[in-house]
Amino acid sequence: MSACKTTSTRPYVEPTPPEVRCKQQEGPQVPRAPRADAWVEWAPPQPGEEQGAARLSRQAVEWISAVLAAVRVERGLRQAEHDCLDRLEERGLITQ
């Protein structure tokens, strides 16, 4: 009898995934939309006209502007995330 093993196995080390830090901050909060009856302002009829005109209220215009600004910031943040992930993929650290 021999005291030697007939087969040998290599120790197995669990691979650890690379640490990826591309997450950007949260985007700005979108303000609450105006009430349904606050979207339109009615202008009285001009002389010689029978009906007045409707237009967006100042509150509605400000809300639309805030939403568009939030979308612009959010797109920039997500683009920075994607650029970071693309650089890591080019270096071979991750696959997407």
**How many domains does the chain contain in total?**
1
Confidence (pLDDT) at 60: 96
Q: Is residue 13 part of a domain?
A: no
pLDDT, one tens digit per residue, over 68-91 is 999 999 999 999 999 999 999 998
76 lies in some domain? yes
Does 83 map to a domain? yes
Q: Find the domain containing 89 and state its range.
A: 56-96
Q: Per the domain annotation, does 15 fall within a domain?
A: no
CB atoms < 10 A from the CB of 63, how many? 19
Q: Is residue 26 domain-resident?
A: no
Summarised one tens digit per residue, pLDDT across range 11-40 is 888 888 777 788 888 989 999 999 999 999
Listed residue (20, 43, 88, 33) closest to 65, CA to CA: 33
pTM of this prediction? Answer: 0.66
- State mean pLDDT over 41-69: 93
Name the residue with tokens 């409707």.
54
In a domain, 44, yes or no: no
The predicted pLDDT at position 16 comes to: 80
8 within domain boundaries: no
Of 20, 30, 18, nearest to 66 (Cα)? 30
